[in-house]
């Protein structure tokens, strides 16, 4: 485990905060657990579209980044949508918009190849209720001052 000062510095750099603006180490740890699970699945050539972690969802990022987070806050399992939302903390606008465009393109191609019911099943297994969430996330702007880390 890292020193608390290092964790706080990372939280501060990426604006990982609670609703009061205080750094949120628990959220950082949860994000890292989610990333580790997806990374391990990828390393073992497993499918990740339906990966989940029961009772792992942390609502704060959904509340912070979405206009209407209620439909996402009702479910407790972490899914790929959680990772997509979490990555908003760590990627600058350009990188994040490229990620979202690639995800949209992948869903578009998949929609052409599958029947409607199969596509909806895959989409829902990712945790995405509606593909419009990608547009909503695309419109969230965030800057990360990487040079600030040395001062934290």
- Partners of 23 in the β-ladder: 17
User: What are the tens digits of pLDDT across the range 38-89?
Assistant: 999 999 988 888 888 887 778 888 888 888 777 777 777 788 999 999 999 9
| 152 pLDDT above the threshold of 60 | no
Nearest to 137 by CA among 90, 84, 92, 95: 84
Q: Does the global pTM surpass 0.75?
A: yes
Structure tokens at 101: 């465009």
| 102 pLDDT above the threshold of 70 | yes
Alpha helix segments (H runs only) across 59-92? 60-65, 70-73, 80-90
CA distance 2 to 116: 46
Alpha helix segments (H runs only) across 91-147? 93-113, 116-125, 132-138
Tell me the backbone φ, ψ of residue 78, rounded to 5 degrees.
Answer: -75, 140
Residue 59, pLDDT score: 80
Q: How far, in Å, are 17, 27, 129 from residue 60 at the CA level?
A: 9, 8, 18
Q: Which domain holds residue 137?
A: 4-151
Span between the terminal Cα atoms of the chain, in Å:
19
Domain count within the chain: 1
Residue 149, pLDDT score: 62
């Amino acid at each position: 485990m890292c020193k608390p000062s290092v964790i706080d510095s990372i939280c501060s750099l990426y604006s990982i905060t609670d609703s009061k603006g205080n750094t949120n180490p628990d959220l950082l740890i949860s994000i890292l657990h989610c990333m580790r699970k997806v990374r391990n699945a990828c390393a073992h050539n497993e499918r990740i579209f339906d990966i989940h972690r029961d009772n792992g969802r942390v609502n704060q990022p959904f509340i912070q980044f979405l206009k209407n987070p209620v439909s996402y806050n009702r479910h407790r399992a972490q899914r790929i949508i959680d990772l997509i939302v979490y990555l908003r903390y760590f990627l600058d606008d350009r990188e994040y918009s490229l990620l979202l465009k690639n995800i949209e393109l992948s869903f578009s191609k998949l929609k052409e190849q599958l029947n409607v019911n199969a596509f909806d099943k895959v989409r829902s297994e990712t945790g995405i209720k509606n593909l419009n969430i990608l547009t909503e996330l695309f419109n969230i702007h965030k800057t990360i001052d990487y040079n600030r880390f040395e001062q934290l």
